[in-house]
Amino acid sequence: MSTRTSQDPGPSGADSTSALLEVDELTVTFGPKSKRPVHAVDGVSFSVRPGEVVGLVGESGSGKSVTSLAIMGLLPQRGVRVGGSVRFEGRELVGASQQTLTDMRGRDMAMVFQDPMSSLNPVLPIGLQVTEVLRRHTDLDREGARAEAEDLLRRVGIPDPRRRLKDYPHQLSGGMRQRALIAIALACKPRLLIADEPTTALDVTIQAQVLELLRKLVTDTGTAMIMITHDLGVVAGLCDDVNVMYSGRVVETAGRQELFGVPRHRYTEGLLASIPRMDAPRGQPLRPIPGTPRDTISWSRACAFAPRCPVVDDDCLVPDLELTPDRERRFHLHRCVHPADVPAAVRTTQETP
Amino acid sequence: MTATTSGQLDPAGATGSDTLLSVRGLEVHFPIKRGLLIDRTIGHVRAVDGVDLDVARGQTYGLVGESGCGKSTLGRAVLRLEEPTAGDVVFDGTSLRELTGEAMRRMRKRMQMVFQDPMSSLDPRQSVQSILTEPLRAHLREGGRTAWDKRVLELLEVVGMPSSAAAKFPHEFSGGQRQRIGIARAIVLNPELVIADEPVSALDVSVQAQVINLLEELQDRLGLTYLVIAHDLAVVRHISDRIGVMYLGQIVEEADSDDLYAKPLHPYTISLMSAIPVPDPDIEDRRERILLAGDLPSPANPPSGCRFHTRCPFRQPTRCHDEVPALVEAVPGHRVSCHWAKEIAAGRITASEAAHDPTAEAAPD
């Protein structure tokens, strides 16, 4: 896997011509205009280039899943306002017609959801659910689609695919179902794959299999991927660039080396300190973030993380904090008044070219 | 450390051996039934199939394994929430299998459980006050309302909740707070043993750490003994003194927490540890992953010989498929059930390449 250095253009870097997907100031607001609206996504910007894996990390309620649904145009029509811009190869998706989106979904971009049992149709055989996509978007006839479906199932590692085509979702194990879902997503060779917590419902050993499959997919076919997860371990092994989300906004964005090596935002720092690690010496107490993700204030009044932040003071009560670039690393941005210090050892290595 | 919050902390039978809980040959088999009018038993799901373990007083025993390995059933069988098919559970010198009725009911006071999902294990129509008073009502005749109310406030403080919480209902709290209430309910009666079944897996990452720290703090403060059941090896390693790794109803490896991490001996533990994502890009890039083939076989029809041989990356042509390995002490304090543990540890047998390809073998149904 390619490791990005800090010299490379980051997700918000200047090199936007080659970007496959550009998300710019995306906002999603729930609720009728008369009532107090909920800003689920509050100005999120990032871009994804071919063969790149971009991570969206956050806890429940951070807006990471809503972001992905907005990109795919899968949010309900009523009671939701989507603002900003999402461009796929320069084509604007926000406000595009349903017909355009239906044509693009499955063909140009596809999605893998968290729970395969509820995203597969329980009364249709797996085979039919794979060929459905192929028949909709390609010229393949029935026999051709069936053969292609069998090949797809084999490629995602489902043993005995010919027999499995006739199976219903309940006859497959959790890992197999997730593979089937990935097969459906890959059916038309999309250039962008959005994976929303694809391994959260799976056991560790099965998770490792599915992650390996996704990793291979990116390196072999150059598919771009948006990985949505709460698991920082998954991010560390898979993503090139990472966006940490909190309360609807990106609070830190960096290459994975920088994010894990020198986290600047206090939330990222807190998350890393609160997970028990296999490789840490035992007996080291965890340092949790106080409060819960629900203890938040509106970004329009102050930093939303302020109620839980260990270093909060009056300076933090600034409305609409900006994402500011790091002094030494241009593509490491954070939205914090009092960012965490860069350890001295890291600082010197960063300064030497 | 002195227990400030509980008067009757030290139970009468605390003297003697320091093993609080010992499980011997425990089996829980669920019948598979078929037929319309006459229920015919056509087989058994061997959820727990012969487990021996000892939990020392004041320590934490962690039980890890994937879903379906029987770890939750084992936890429930220890408390006889699930009636064991065979084997025995000895709690503080008393065999629980022989206890009936009132004697068992009295015993339950000394062992409690914390469940995974606090939303479904707390009654939504009961206030926190009522939830926490119920065990007192059931087990302690003395005291009465005022003493109970005092105890409830005391408990809320111990688990880090405001006293105003007593009048509220479970839906008014976040997941982490609900789990705190679940923990408070478990320690109302000053139990000696607390069985925690996936206590943090339903919680957000930042909140998980709060609950883990709370469990550790309570152990120090009240001298609790824990049996923690979880699928997350990192969480289990963090809080446990001793760890048992379960696979298909049996313990395949048991060791002290540090030893297990430093030198896992069973191929399943080795693979499990290599599969856990570590939040460090350098480690993630460097380390070698051992991918297991296929899924967990059905516990209704476990594989012959070593149960892990169908997925084992270290499988050998002999013994593995036809000879059942015993759980033996390979290194002092470190038990493992693998024929080839010594050879694997010495590096004479390495993981086969076939295991890296998940398609290599069909998942046995």
A99 and B CB contact within 8 Å: no
In a domain, A8, yes or no: no
Nearest residue in chain B measured CA to CA from A158: B359
* Helices (H) then strands (E): counts for chain B: 12, 12
- For residue A11, being part of any structural domain is answered with no
| Chain A residue with the nearest C-alpha to that of B66 | A203
CA B112, CA B133: separation in Å to the nearest integer?
15
pLDDT score, position B202: 83
For residue A87, being part of any structural domain is answered with yes
Describe the crossing of helices A142-155 and A174-186 by its angle, rounded to 10 degrees.
130
Identify the three-state secondary structure at position A165.
Answer: coil
- Tens of pLDDT along chain B (365 residues)? 433 333 333 333 333 458 999 999 999 999 888 877 777 888 888 999 999 999 999 999 999 998 888 999 999 999 999 999 999 999 999 999 888 888 998 899 999 999 888 888 899 999 999 999 999 888 876 778 888 899 999 999 999 999 999 999 999 998 889 999 999 999 999 999 999 999 998 888 888 999 999 999 999 999 999 999 998 888 999 999 999 999 999 999 999 999 998 899 999 999 998 888 888 888 888 888 888 887 788 888 889 999 999 999 998 988 998 999 999 998 899 999 999 999 998 888 888 754 444 444 444 43
> Is the model's pTM score more than 0.90?
no
The verdict on residue A133 lying in a domain is yes
Using CA atoms of A206, A208, A214, A219 in order, give the dihedral in degrees to the nearest 10. Answer: -150
Strand pairing class (B334-336; B250-256) = antiparallel
Give Cα A214 distance to the centre of its chain: 13
Question: Do the chains contact at A232 and B279, CB–CB below 8 Å?
Answer: yes
φ and ψ of B19, to 5 deg: -90, 120
Q: pLDDT band for position A348 (50/70/90)?
A: very low
Per-residue pLDDT tens digits for A130-158: 999 999 999 999 999 999 999 999 888 88
Q: Verify that A176 and A118 share a domain, yes or no.
A: yes
Using 50, 70 and 90 to split pLDDT, how confident is the model at A344? Answer: low
Q: Which residue has better confidence, A350 or A299?
A: A299
**Is the Cβ pair A292, B204 closer than 8 Å?**
yes
CB contact under 8 A, B296 and A203: yes
Q: Do A274 and B216 touch (CB under 8 A)?
A: no
Q: Which residues contact A227 (CB under 8 A, 6 or more apart)?
A: A53, A54, A55, A56, A195, A198, A214, A234, A235, A238, A239
Domain coverage including residue A264: 250-276+289-351
A205 closest CA partner among B65, B339, B62, B340: B65
**Environment class of residue B263 by beta-carbon count within 10 Å: exposed (0-12), middle (13-18) or buried (19+)?**
middle
Same domain? A122 vs A141: yes
Give tens-digit pLDDT for A160-215: 899 999 999 998 888 889 889 999 999 998 999 999 999 887 888 888 888 988 99
Nearest CB to B174: which of A154, A260, A292?
A292
Residues A203 and A303 in one domain: no
Binding-face residues of A in 210-229 toward B, CB within 8 A = 211-213
**One domain, residues A226 and A327:** no
Residue A108's CB is within 10 A of a number of other CB atoms, namely: 18
Asked if A207 and A154 sit in the same domain, the reply is yes
- Residue labelled with tokens 């004479």: B348
> Does the distance separating the beta carbons of A158 and B359 come in below 8 Å?
yes
Looking at residue A209, what is its pLDDT? 87
pLDDT at position A54 over 80: yes
Alpha-carbon separation of residue A266 from A251, A288, A339 (angstroms): 9, 12, 6
Report the alpha-carbon distance of residue A332 to residue A242 in Å, rounded: 10
Q: What is the mean pLDDT of chain A?
A: 86
Q: Is residue A301 part of a domain?
A: yes
pLDDT value for B353: 55
Residue type, B119: M
Which runs of consecutive H residues, i.e. helices, occur in chain A? 64-72, 98-104, 116-119, 126-137, 142-155, 161-164, 174-186, 204-221, 232-238, 256-261, 266-274, 344-351
Same domain, A134 and A205: yes
- A125 part of a folded domain: yes
Has residue A12 got a pLDDT over 60? no
Are A212 and A309 part of one and the same domain?
no
**What's the order of all strands across the beta sheet hosting B86-91?**
B40-56, B19-34, B86-91, B94-95
With an 8 Å Cβ cutoff, are A277 and B278 in contact?
yes
Residue of B nearest to A160 (CA): B362
Q: Check whether residue A119 and residue A266 sit in a common domain.
A: no
Q: Where are the domains of chain B?
A: 265-356
Which CATH number characterizes residue A121's domain? 3.40.50.300
Instruction: Give pLDDT, residue A201.
Output: 79
Residue B8 is predicted with a pLDDT of: 36
| Cα–Cα distance measured from residue B326 to residue B319, given in angstroms and rounded to the nearest whole number | 12
The total domain count for chain A is 2
Claim to verify: residue A206 and residue A270 sit in the same structural domain:
no
| Cα–Cα distance measured from residue A243 to residue A255, given in angstroms and rounded to the nearest whole number | 9
Residues A222 and A269 in one domain: no
Q: For chain A, give me the number of helices (H) and strands (E)?
A: 12, 12
Q: How far is A259 from chain B (nearest CA, A)?
A: 9
Give the gap in angstroms from C-alpha A243 to the nearest C-alpha of chain B. 15
Partner-chain contact B204 A159, CB within 8 Å: no
ipTM > 0.95, yes or no: no
For residue A26, being part of any structural domain is answered with yes
Restricting to A residues 231-290, those with a Cβ less than 8 Å away from any Cβ of B are: 231-237, 256-257, 260-261, 270-279, 282, 285-290
Is the backbone of residue A157 left (phi > 0), alpha (psi -120 to 50) or beta?
Answer: left
